[in-house]
Structure 1
Amino acid sequence: MTKDYELVADVASYQPDTLSFFKALAAQNVRAVIVKLTEGSANGSAYVNPKAAAQLAHARAAGLLVHAYHYAKFKGSQDASAEAAWFVQHAQALKVTPASVMVLDIEDQQNANWATADANTFLQAVKAAGYPHVDLYSMASWFWSGRLDPSKLLAKNLWVANYGVTAPGVADVGLWQYTNSFEIAGLQIDMSYDFNGFYSKALTSAKPVTPAVQNTSFSDDLGDKWTTETGIFTTKTAIKLRWGAKTTSSVIALLPSNSVINYDAYSMHDGFVWLRQPRSAGKFGYLASGEEVAGRRTSCWGEFEES
């Protein structure tokens, strides 16, 4: 493949954190860099890249666009939520802005054999924390085998690794990590082609996933705070649809597994993450999509996608 696309590098603690290294990247026409921040969760491996702060700062100083990634160790929605909280906590501490792409790197054999639902739980939690631009990285073989289902993933750009070939091997991907031996300053590093410009064109925190309602909040008559967000939720267990966002509210129906619900807002209160379903005549239905503790999702009872 000829170099018709912008180059994007990714770095971790194995790569330098010096300004000269990032200037060398810029001199080789690399447009952006994706820095590993974290791995696992506070109750798991609790890993933070010790070079992350310097790598982020020096990449910016070299004129590169800066993004961040988390290496997944989770298996199950509760673990996925905990790892998302760990990632967001350190991204905020390192002043990674909502204009950056936040990437889930999922490729560990510890992950679930069918990892799409867990990945979506992680990505949704990152978006809910105020980072609208999310993506997912994995090996092409994970998509071939069905461990990850692109049609159901919340991330739509997708970053795929596949070396020694002339194409990514997965249809419609946005970023292709085509080599792990790109030479920079005497070192060999990972390098990717950015087909869609998702990483190499400056994004803004104002570019929403759902433009009309992003970052709008309101309080209902009971004093519970809601955030507007349009999306689709598919249940993975039976869930009660209610006339109010309380467990004491009257039940409209018991939704079976694989029910598809359009929602326009969410709220975290009383131990649950509630979704609001618009209904006819200006009415709404409400369902609990999972559990929350102190404003952080701890479980997810279905899969999310953009509407």
Structure 2
Amino acid sequence: MSLSHPPRPQPPYPLDTPSDGTLMPDENHHRSWRTGTHTKLERKDIYTSGPYTFLSYFDTVFLIDDSAAMVEHWDAVGKLLGQISGVCAEHDRNGIDMYFVNHRPRGYYLYATIGRKKERGGYFNIGKTAGDACDNCDNVAGIFRAVRPHGGCRLDHRLSAILDPYMEEYIRRVKDGVQQAENLRPLNLIVITAGVTDDNPYDTLIETARKLDFYHAPPYQVGIQFFRVGDDDDGRRAMDFADHGLAQTLNLRDMVDTVTWTSEPGELAPDAVLKVVLGAVERSIDKPV
């Protein structure tokens, strides 16, 4: 007996995702970060000591799409990831974190049976104790080589696994006191994907933006950079709408940026690397929310 699968959702995906019931600001909801209670990052901070210095203000997390749609791009993604992650790891004192859509680290399912799967959901603090950028790249490359793309792409499911705990911690700190919230480093999430998903990738983006707006978080508290590979038309439309249409349509903060890579494997130009690692957070610096 064969099992039938539900049809793949088509972009631009439904935007009527229900809130959890606690965050329902109306169209006149005033979205502004609390002036005077946060050390506001400014554009001058970006290039203080070099083009990537600004990364030191953020925790950088990678989410890699390892679905079947990525098979033909896998070698190129490995090379691109090496370039991008090396820059990020060099400037993140805690090291970078790395998740995959399908792959789980060894021990994940054992930890899941005792309710601790978050502790094995990804690879954490990569490069924290390494001496230089080359060591950091080697660590990332070793992890990447052990993964083979397969299966579907529940992108929203994995976005939720990363963003929901972060927002829970942010909200807990806000409730404990503004100073506690200020001490949580902003998140720079870089997603490498073909954009061909089996769920609605907007659900978690919408809910995260709603929570950030509701709690008046700074505009750069969460930045999500989609690095899209390949030329799938559905993937292009989905990512383009996440970048250009989502915030405007729902009157939410603009925390998403998209870069498309369709070239042959090769070196990214320095400006392109900068765009990938800072795109979503950099353009939010001057924006009131």
**Structure having the larger proportion of residues in helix:** 2
Q: TM-score, normalised by structure 1?
A: 0.32
Q: Considering only CA atoms, is the larger Rg found in Structure 1 or Structure 2?
A: 1
**Structure having the larger proportion of residues in strand:** 1
Bigger RCO (CA 8 Å, 6+ sep): 2
